[in-house]
Amino acid sequence: MKRRIGLLLICLCISLPTFAYFQIAGSPKRSPGKQANYIVNDIPGNLRVNPRYTFYPAKGLLYTNLKNYAKKHGWKLRWTTKRDYRIVNNYKIAGPNFQSVVKNLLSNYIAVRVSFNTRRRIVYVGLKTK
């Protein structure tokens, strides 16, 4: 009899945490009218990077890659320098908007400055002045 009670207690101890886990992990109740803040990989939806603003440069010239990226997003590129830079590595740059991706890309080039005319949607790229 003691053995059966002991076995029953062991089974109960093993199954109780499993039952409690499934109760906690069930779908949460949402209040009507509130937008759910979905979380993917522990990053809230409002902080995730928009995949539309991801730049994958191909090997070649920076001017060509940047011109194609700007055209894809409805911007024009004004390259105001005679110098161009070669891209030799494959990498990815992502950001919340077009301007932040371009600024992040060109921050790797020390002598280059970038400015934006958001009203006309023009990106100006030139050399930094001393």
Domains of the chain: 46-127 (3.55.50)
Give the predicted TM-score (pTM) of the model. Answer: 0.60
- Dump pLDDT digits (tens) for 55-94: 888 888 999 999 999 999 999 999 998 888 888 888 888 8
Sequential DSSP letters for 26-81 = SPPP--TTPPP--EETTEEGGGSPPGGGEE-PPSEEHHHHHHHHHHHTT-EEEE-S
Of 12-16, 90-94, 97-101, 106-110, give the lowest mean pLDDT range.
12-16
What is the pLDDT at residue 102? 93
| Residue whose C-alpha is closest to residue 95's, from 121, 60, 69 | 69
Supply 48's token pair: 């995730």
